[in-house]
Amino acid sequence: MTRWILLLYGTISYLLFLATIAYGVAFFGNLFVPRTIDAIAGVPLGAALPVNVGLLLLFALQHSGMARPAFKWWITDTVPPRAVRSTYVLMSSLTLILIMVLWQPMGGVIWQVDNPLAKQLIMILYFAGWCLMLWATFLLDHFERFGIRQVWCRFRGRVCVEPAFSTPAAYRFMRHPIYTGWLIVFWASPTMTVSRLILAVGMTAYTLLGIRLEERDLIRRLPYYEQYRRKVPMLLPSWRKRLLGSADR
């Protein structure tokens, strides 16, 4: 794979990610697109549920499995090291696309907010979740996280050094602001249908498991991460926990 092909591969993977996220904002927010998460149910619940659970399992396996160090080491036998992150981004986009294309709406309303002002506030919270996710990626190194910096360094013939561990802005108050925004997106809805509830519960379960696996790897790689983990809450800011963490040092 030449440096030009590698740059093209990384760029296409990144642009597909951006397009997928843009469509996801509309799909999960029931906005603008013909078919959304809460579309009219087309098949019985008993037929829809296994499909949706299978899609969530596929998403979880891809996201957590490909993020493990053992998989990254294994895939370098077939993919250049500078393209590993772009490959992860590409596969993550494809699995999210599969969810949006193959998800089977299940109907049924668990709760519904009818007050116009409350509905607007919930939708503002929904968009805030997406904004938090995007902002959090730029707080660290957005282009490194999505593979662009790696392929650009390869294209220019430069050494690509992994960014040093840091805790800017939101990372001082929660360890995983990206996951926090992710969960807000799935739970912030004026109407909670059975379809959305299955999605929200499944993504929450995956998030909690994924964080545990990710932090296990970080503790092994970064000796000081354990101290950070004791000091800063996982998903929700808590000043009290920060004080307790500081006292434990």
Least confident of 83-87, 165-169, 174-178: 165-169
Residue 236 burial (10 A CB sphere; 0-12, 13-18, 19+): exposed
Location of structure tokens 């809805």: 189
Q: How far apart are the first and last CA of the chain?
A: 48
Banded model confidence at residue 224, pLDDT cuts 50, 70, 90: confident
Banded model confidence at residue 1, pLDDT cuts 50, 70, 90: low
Q: How far apart are CA 5 and CA 32, in angstroms?
A: 35
% the chain with pLDDT above 70: 95
Model confidence, pTM = 0.90
Residue-level pLDDT at 247:
38
- Give me the chain's average pLDDT, please: 91
Q: Are 83 and 91 in contact (CB under 8 A)?
A: no
DSSP state of 223: T
Residue-level pLDDT at 33:
92
For the cut 70, the answer to whether the pLDDT of residue 243 exceeds it is: no
Q: How far apart are CA 35 and CA 54, in angstroms?
A: 20
Q: Of 84, 75, 97, nearest to 9 (Cα)?
A: 84
Residue-level pLDDT at 242:
56
Mean pLDDT of 195-222: 94
Mean pLDDT of 77-98: 93
Residues 6+ apart with CB under 8 A from 132: 170, 177, 178, 180, 181, 184
Residue-level pLDDT at 162:
81
